[in-house]
Amino acid sequence: MADNKSNGSAQNKSREDLAKAAQASANKKSQNSKNQGKKGGLLAYLRGVRQEFRKVVWPTREELLTDTAVVFACVIFFAVAFWLIDTGFLAALKGILGITLS
């Protein structure tokens, strides 16, 4: 029985030690993240932006023109569709309610 008590207290100590180690690790990580933000500065940020822009695959002129034409066609299609729907609802409301809009 005495052996069980000593074993239990040893487990409690190891749990406490683990908790302390986890807290210390978390404190180190938070300090490191605070320091990392201050190290680089504006110049390092701009270098990173430049590196990322070099990774971008820019579209060719033909792809750009094709994509632009598709966007314009979609915009025109939806503008006409919404105009037709709006005109239809307005005509229905005029017919049902007998109102006139000037």
- For 6-17, write each residue's pLDDT tens digit: 555 656 667 777
Residue 46: per-residue pLDDT: 94
Please state the domain count of the chain.
Answer: 2
Q: How many Å apart are CA 101 and CA 24, to the nearest integer? A: 73
Residue pLDDT, tens place only, 35-85: 555 567 999 999 999 999 999 999 999 999 999 999 999 999 999 999 999
Q: What separation, in Å, do the N-terminal and C-terminal C-alpha atoms of the chain show?
A: 97
Do 45 and 67 share a domain, yes or no? no
Q: Find the domain containing 88 and state its range.
A: 59-102
Tokens 């034409």 correspond to 69
Residue 16: per-residue pLDDT: 76
Q: 73 with 65: CB under 8 angstroms?
A: no
For residue 80, CA distances in Å to 39, 75, 84, 93 come to 54, 9, 6, 20
Rg (CA), the chain: 34
Q: 101 with 94: CB under 8 angstroms?
A: yes
Do 63 and 35 share a domain, yes or no? no
In whole numbers, what is the pLDDT of the chain averaged over residues? 81
Q: Minimum mean pLDDT among 1-5, 43-47, 91-95: which range?
A: 1-5
Do 1 and 48 share a domain, yes or no? yes
Residue 37: per-residue pLDDT: 52
Q: Is the pTM of this model over 0.85?
A: no
